[in-house]
Amino acid sequence: MCLFTTRGSLIARIVGVLRRAVLRGMSYDDGSVTPEMVIWTAFGAALALAVTSLWGPQILAAARETLFK
């Protein structure tokens, strides 16, 4: 007997495999912060500081000149 006899059973098996993979991945997540997350956060903060220091005065001047009606 073939496991993939109909299209519906094939989709059901794929969904089951994906569900088990997601649940298995979630079981290993302990909620801690990884070094990669720390590096990306530090990169984003450095980028924000660089943009603010380079273009901060121009951005503030443009914001002051903007008029809302």
From first to last of the 69 residues of the chain, give the pLDDT tens digit.
445 455 557 777 778 887 877 766 655 656 677 788 888 899 999 998 888 888 888 888 888 888 777
Integer CA distances (angstroms), 44 to 32, 48, 53, in order: 19, 6, 14
Question: Do 4 and 13 touch, CB atoms closer than 8 A?
Answer: yes
CB neighbour list of residue 10: distance below 8 Å, 6 or more residues apart: 4
Considering the entire predicted model, what is its pTM? 0.45
Please, what's the b/e burial string for 23-40 (b: 16 or more CB within 10 A of its CB; e: otherwise)? eeeeeeeeeeeeeeeeee
- What is the rounded distance in angstroms from the CA atom of residue 13 to the CA atom of residue 8? 9
